[in-house]
Amino acid sequence: MKVSKEIQALIAERLPGHSLDAPFYLNPEIFEMDIREIFGKHWIHVAVDPDIPEPGDYVTVEIGLNSIVVVRDDDMAVRAYHNVCRHRGARLCSEHKGSVGNLVCPYHQWTYNLSGELIYAEHMGEKFDRCKHSLKSVHVENLAGLIFICLAEQPPADFAVMREAMAPYLLPHGLQDCKIAKQVDLIEEGNWKLTMENNRECYHCATNHPELTASLFEFGFGYQTAPGNAEQIGEFNRLAAERCAEWERGGLPSAEIERLDELVSGFRTQRLPLDRAGESQTLDGKVACGMLLGQFERADLGGLSFWTQPNSWHHFMSDHIVSFSVLPLSAERTLVRTKWLVHKDAREGIDYQLDNLTAVWNATNDQDKRLVELSQQGARSSAYQPGPYSPFTEGLVEKFCTWYIGRLQAGLSAPETASVNVLRRMD
């Protein structure tokens, strides 16, 4: 990886336990490095199964300058291709979402089947070898309905570790039998890492998220005990342990798995009790959807949080799932894509009210957007210098940053595979 001496120094000299140096949030060169090293080489969460429920359904996603089309094939498998025609490179699918028979370039109608093979190209003569012009495929993994892609030639192999650990947690929620009740794309005027850092702590929750904390205990993500909250924390810990044991007896894995900074495909999960009615992340803690997910017979199953490095988090509940995907747009702009999923047979207005379903996270997202943008503004100031993370409430933020810096270092020390490939192709 080619980076300037200055940036190499910033990576090498990052002060552990502290927020990142300002250039990590501002510098376009570091942004390009992020796209190449982080988003170009790791498993990126881009879609959910219900985005593409039927054969021929596709979604497109932009990662840096790359557009990827994720499509369900005729065998119901999920495939991903570079959204680039092998003729003269035109974009194949220009919509965010759609449905196709085959993938057809709108420019000259080169036609690819859903296996990426070029099956039709007019006027190309006898000697033209269609087999040499298949779509460029992108690695894709489907974890219990969460779709990840990897742009690297060799994707991180430890996705299997995450799959093995997470499948038992996620599968009971039946994401594959859900539908997207609502999707909201929010653009935050801030660096993607600030979005992620903000997500990895609940230090800010009590004061900033009145809607979210109606049901969510902020203690679940690390808290410093003090005389004023000792009783509450003790009560939460007792409740968590009790409920956790109860859920696990009922066949729902609940215990925390936290491997955020030790795996290349870092992740964390935990099922935590919810406040009030204890059923769902809603204003009253009751289910937002009368039709429960999977085979659930009871609603008070708390909230299962699942986080992945570098770009997603999800809340799985008994009645609905909220899924978040973070996609960087520029050094100081980030797309936060939120999807609310309910059982595919649930009827809007009857089994659920969309406003009630989305109230908590619509409000929370707006609040988080403001917080991220405040941070971004601060990072632009000459007075900004990395500040210390709370050892109690911000340990997981630190793990995100540790993972991030570690992945950059791994990239820095890796052989120059990309440039070698370029030379080989020129031969």
Partner 1 sequence: MDINKLNRPNFWDAMPPLWNSDREDSLVCCQVRAETHDVKSFFFVTPDGSGFIFQPGQFITLELEINDEAINRCYTVSSSPARPHAISITVKRVPGGPVSNWLHDNLKVGDKVKVLQPAGEFTCAIHPANKYLFLSAGSGITPLMSMTRAHHDLCDDRDIVFIHSARTPDDIIFERELGLIAASQQNFKTRFICERLGQRRDWPGPTGMLSLAALKLMAPDFMEREIFVCGPAPYMKAVRNMLDEAGFERTHYHEESFSFETLQLETEQASTANGATPISSELAALTGFEITFQKSNRQIVCGPQQHVLEAARNAGVRLASSCAQGMCGTCKVKLISGSVDMQHKGGIRQREIDQGMVLLCCSKPLSNLVVDK
Residues that bind partner 1 (CB under 8 A): 54-56, 99-102, 104, 109, 111, 113, 119-120, 122
Provide the minimum distance between the beta carbon of 82 and partner 1 in the complex, in angstroms, as a whole number: 20
Provide the minimum distance between the beta carbon of 111 and partner 1 in the complex, in angstroms, as a whole number: 4
Provide the minimum distance between the beta carbon of 50 and partner 1 in the complex, in angstroms, as a whole number: 16
Give me 164's structure tokens: 């093995």
Provide the minimum distance between the beta carbon of 87 and partner 1 in the complex, in angstroms, as a whole number: 13
Provide the minimum distance between the beta carbon of 345 and partner 1 in the complex, in angstroms, as a whole number: 18
Provide the minimum distance between the beta carbon of 51 and partner 1 in the complex, in angstroms, as a whole number: 16
DSSP lists the bridge partners of residue 326 as 336
d(CA 110, CA 125) in angstroms, rounded, equals: 14
Provide the minimum distance between the beta carbon of 5 and partner 1 in the complex, in angstroms, as a whole number: 52
DSSP lists the bridge partners of residue 146 as 48, 143
Nearest to 145 by CA among 178, 183, 102: 178
d(CA 87, CA 82) in angstroms, rounded, equals: 13
Sheet of strand 97-99: strand arrangement: 44-48, 146-150, 137-143, 78-82, 66-72, 57-63, 97-99
**Residue 102 or 207 with smaller CB distance to partner 1:** 102
**Residue 66 or 99 with smaller CB distance to partner 1:** 99
**Residue 113 or 232 with smaller CB distance to partner 1:** 113
Give me 343's structure tokens: 């059982």
d(CA 303, CA 281) in angstroms, rounded, equals: 8
Provide the minimum distance between the beta carbon of 102 and partner 1 in the complex, in angstroms, as a whole number: 5
The answer, yes or no, to whether the previous bond of 310 is cis (omega within 30 of 0) is yes
CB-based contacts of 31, cutoff 8 Å, min separation 6: 191, 328, 330, 331
Angle formed at CA 324 by CA 318 and CA 330, multiple of 5 degrees? 175
**Residue 113 or 208 with smaller CB distance to partner 1:** 113
Distance of CA 427 to the CA centre of its chain: 39
**Residue 111 or 364 with smaller CB distance to partner 1:** 111
**Residue 124 or 277 with smaller CB distance to partner 1:** 124
**Residue 104 or 299 with smaller CB distance to partner 1:** 104
Provide the minimum distance between the beta carbon of 109 and partner 1 in the complex, in angstroms, as a whole number: 4
**Residue 118 or 143 with smaller CB distance to partner 1:** 118
**Residue 139 or 179 with smaller CB distance to partner 1:** 179
Provide the minimum distance between the beta carbon of 104 and partner 1 in the complex, in angstroms, as a whole number: 5
**Residue 113 or 390 with smaller CB distance to partner 1:** 113
**Residue 123 or 424 with smaller CB distance to partner 1:** 123
Q: State the Rg of the chain over Cα.
A: 22
Provide the minimum distance between the beta carbon of 90 and partner 1 in the complex, in angstroms, as a whole number: 14
Q: What are phi and psi of 377, to 5 degrees?
A: -60, -40
